[in-house]
Structure 1
Amino acid sequence: MIDLNQEVIIDSGQPVKLGALYSDKLLIYFYPKDMTSGCTKQAVLFQEQQERFNSLGCKIVGVSRDSIKRHNKFKQTYGLTFDLIADTQEQLCHQFKVMAEKSMYGKTYLGIVRSSFLLDKKGAILKEWRNVKVASHMVSLLSEVKVLINVE
């Protein structure tokens, strides 16, 4: 169960309780970094599907460790209209256990593993998708969410 009373900082700079970001279902997705090719493609795909998710009573929220300023630039550059959470202290990242050791160009570092979670209004995780690839994940995500929501 996810703590919906946990305070998060959204791209507007306002602290809000996680549960206040949605009323029925939340699709919260974690991504490594704003303005990178994979993360940009993922955000644009979510933006393109936002109305479909909204019609299912499912709000989309993105989370990375980027700053509010960087989130705002990302949103403006790509016309994103959903909230982005600035998890600069990695609180949500640790709660959802999306931090892992990664390596690039022979160097290891701790980073976000691209993951998505569907939450109900009580904070229960209905489904999780971990270590996803952008293109293949988006192909099946909407249909899986439809099935999960209709099952309840």
Structure 2
Amino acid sequence: MTETQDTTKNGLKEGDAALDFSMEASGGRTVSLAALKGKPFVLYFYPKADTPGCTKEACGFSEALGQFEGAGLSVIGVSRDPVKKLDKFAEKYDLTFPLASDEAGSVTEAYGVWVEKSLYGKAYMGIDRTTFLIGADGKIARIWKKVKVPGHVEAVLEAAQAL
């Protein structure tokens, strides 16, 4: 199985229109699909701020942010953490791109990344680490499901530069 998948749990697939969203984000910002109209962007979903894998992923996107911006793309991270926790996470690691809060879960559910997981035989609900590359046309250009952090940012950047 490759890292790139072309559908999500809810049936979203590459070529589909990105689903509408508007969320509060770190730094007193709001991110929305409407504000990004006509601009390509990366929308990545991660389980929990300030945990080892999520920190590595966020710092990876942060380190490559200049390259994403140079290719004309914004980067937005999304979790179900409250904005206050996202602000602390952003400040701790000097993350300047928006970290959006989907506390109510409507966006994570709409994008099909809120899934049943299992740890030590116990089932629970959580975010499946997933990245969407959205083109300037508002359509999903690529989907990466069950992301493994090492090498992921580089793969997204390569696909973003090819848009």
TM-score, normalised to structure 1, is 0.88
Corresponding residue of 1:29: 44
Q: Show structure 2 runs of 5+ residues with no match.
A: 1-16
Using CA pairs below 8 Å that are at least 6 residues apart, which structure has the higher relative contact order? 2
Q: Are the aligned partners of 1:9 and 1:15 in contact in 2 as well (CA < 8 Å)? A: yes
Question: How far apart are residue 103 of structure 1 and its match?
Answer: 1.2
Corresponding residue of 2:134: 119
Corresponding residue of 1:103: 118
Count of residue pairs the alignment pairs up: 147
| 1:142 and 2:157 are equivalent in the alignment | yes
Q: Are the aligned partners of 2:39 and 2:72 in contact in 1 as well (CA < 8 Å)? A: yes
Partner deviation per Cα, 1:92-130 (whole Å, 9 max, x = no partner): 111211111111233211110111111123421011111
Question: How far apart are residue 14 of structure 1 and its match?
Answer: 4.8
Corresponding residue of 1:57: 72
Give the alignment's Cα RMSD to 1 decimal: 1.7
Higher alpha-carbon deviation: 71-80 or 102-111: 102-111
Identical-pair percentage = 37
| 1:2 and 2:18 are equivalent in the alignment | yes
Letter in 2 for 1:48: E
Letter in 2 for 1:33: K
Helix, strand or coil: the match of 2:99?
strand
Partner deviation per Cα, 1:4-47 (whole Å, 9 max, x = no partner): 4x322112445453331575111010000001000000000000
Question: How far apart are residue 136 of structure 1 and its match?
Answer: 2.9
Helix, strand or coil: the match of 2:26?
coil
Quick check: which one's helix share is greater? 1
Letter in 2 for 1:108: A
Corresponding residue of 2:94: 79
Query: Matched residues in 2 for 1:16 and 1:143: separation?
Result: 24
Query: Matched residues in 2 for 1:125 and 1:141: separation?
Result: 13
TM-score, normalised to structure 2, is 0.83
Letter in 2 for 1:102: K
